[in-house]
Copies of this chain bind each other. A is one copy, B any other.
């Protein structure tokens, strides 16, 4: 059996997460039992939700256990199989975690999924045609429910969720407005992702200033907002919301570290009769087939060209993850292992 390398959660963050919270270890892959397959990971997915699980706090998911492999999505290739369902060479997506190989019980429902890489590159099954893409789809289609011509806004617009959101919104003839950090990301959002406008939140030091920029980018106001960030960005969008605006609340990356970030103007939810709904896409598995079908078609036809930030080698995972939490990535953050 091949040698394996793993990144474990060694200790929990006190405030901000650091590289010292993680530990790299070498190990052996165990011999396969009947029904198991050995997967060599080509790509690991790094996602903001992982930060929340590093805390030992009540949340929607159980905390990441200490001393164990960091959990996370992976895309790779079956290299050995003792299951009739998988053959060596099959391209697969699963939750293999931060390691080079994983042993998977092929009979466990949803543990491993074969994917077709003819028209969609393998890595995209961790992004636009995977959990982040379905997250964007659910928030737009099931919570925001936009009508053609309405204006929808997304924060972290060039990330994996944001780019899928933009393409899905344009496919519904909405005005799609992004919010992102820095002029390069904003240019990319408009030129490559098809957003109608994109605002650089780093140019604004408070919600009022950002709201003024939103007024220009959204002359008809904001009908729907997909929240990946929280804090000042949410406050600013709420100041531009139309009556009956809907907010899909998916991420509050600003609040994961340390103290909660208050919502400054909750009374706007009342005066504008808004609806705000938090969701976790893994609780809505019933929409995945429909969502993945649309997302796969958008990628295969070139209407969604997601960008990736790719770190090289398992050792780079902690630093790449910390960079993601600070918004240093540009597009879907991956670690390439092969």
Query: Once the chains bind, are A260 and B249 in contact (CB under 8 Å)?
Result: no
A269-B276 contact given A263-B263, A264-B260, A264-B262, CB 8 Å threshold: yes
Tell me, rounded to whole Å, the shortest Cβ–Cβ distance linking A321 to chain B.
Answer: 20
Residues of B within 8 A of A249 (CB): 269-270
Highest count of chain B CB atoms <10 Å: which of A252, A260, A269, A274: A269
Residues of B within 8 A of A276 (CB): 269, 275-277
Tell me, rounded to whole Å, the shortest Cβ–Cβ distance linking A266 to chain B.
Answer: 4
Decide if A59 is an interface residue (CB 8 Å cutoff): yes
Identify which of B263, B274, B277, B278 contacts A271 (C-beta below 8 A).
Answer: B278
Decide if A234 is an interface residue (CB 8 Å cutoff): yes
How many angstroms between the C-alpha atoms of A60 and B264 in the bound complex?
A: 19
A277-B278 contact given A263-B263, A266-B260, CB 8 Å threshold: no
Query: Once the chains bind, are B267 and A230 in contact (CB under 8 Å)?
Result: yes
Query: Once the chains bind, are B267 and A255 in contact (CB under 8 Å)?
Result: yes
- Give the contacts of A225-274 with B (CB-CB under 8 A): 230, 234, 243, 249-252, 255, 260-267, 269-274
Tell me, rounded to whole Å, the shortest Cβ–Cβ distance linking A183 to chain B.
Answer: 29
Query: Once the chains bind, are A278 and B283 in contact (CB under 8 Å)?
Result: no
Tell me, rounded to whole Å, the shortest Cβ–Cβ distance linking A291 to chain B.
Answer: 18
How many angstroms between the C-alpha atoms of A279 and B271 in the bound complex?
A: 8
Highest count of chain B CB atoms <10 Å: which of A234, A260, A265, A277: A277
| 0/1 interface trace, chain A 19-54, chain B, CB 8 Å (1 if under) | 000000000000000000000000000000000100
Main secondary structure of the interface of A (DSSP, over half): loop
Residues of B within 8 A of A230 (CB): 266-267
Which residue of B has the minimal Cβ distance to A280?
Answer: B273
A260-B270 contact given A243-B60, A275-B276, A276-B275, CB 8 Å threshold: no
A271-B234 contact given A264-B260, A264-B262, CB 8 Å threshold: no
Residues of B within 8 A of A251 (CB): 270
A252-B266 contact given A60-B272, A243-B60, CB 8 Å threshold: yes
Residues of B within 8 A of A272 (CB): 60, 278
- Give the contacts of A121-169 with B (CB-CB under 8 A): none
Query: Once the chains bind, are A273 and B283 in contact (CB under 8 Å)?
Result: yes
Residues of B within 8 A of A277 (CB): 273-276
Tell me, rounded to whole Å, the shortest Cβ–Cβ distance linking A131 to chain B.
Answer: 16
Identify which of B263, B270, B273 contacts A266 (C-beta below 8 A).
Answer: B263
Tell me, rounded to whole Å, the shortest Cβ–Cβ distance linking A307 to chain B.
Answer: 26
How many angstroms between the C-alpha atoms of A274 and B252 in the bound complex?
A: 14
Tell me, rounded to whole Å, the shortest Cβ–Cβ distance linking A46 to chain B.
Answer: 19
* 28 contacts across the A-B interface (CB closer than 8 A): A52-B271, A58-B271, A60-B243, A60-B271, A60-B272, A60-B273, A230-B266, A234-B266, A250-B270, A251-B270, A252-B270, A255-B266, A255-B267, A260-B266, A261-B266, A262-B264, A262-B265, A263-B263, A263-B266, A269-B276, A270-B278, A273-B278, A273-B279, A273-B280, A274-B278, A275-B276, A275-B278, A276-B277
Besides A52-B271, A60-B273, A255-B266, 6 new A-B residue pairs in contact (Cβ under 8 A), listed by A number: A249-B269, A262-B266, A263-B266, A273-B278, A274-B277, A275-B275
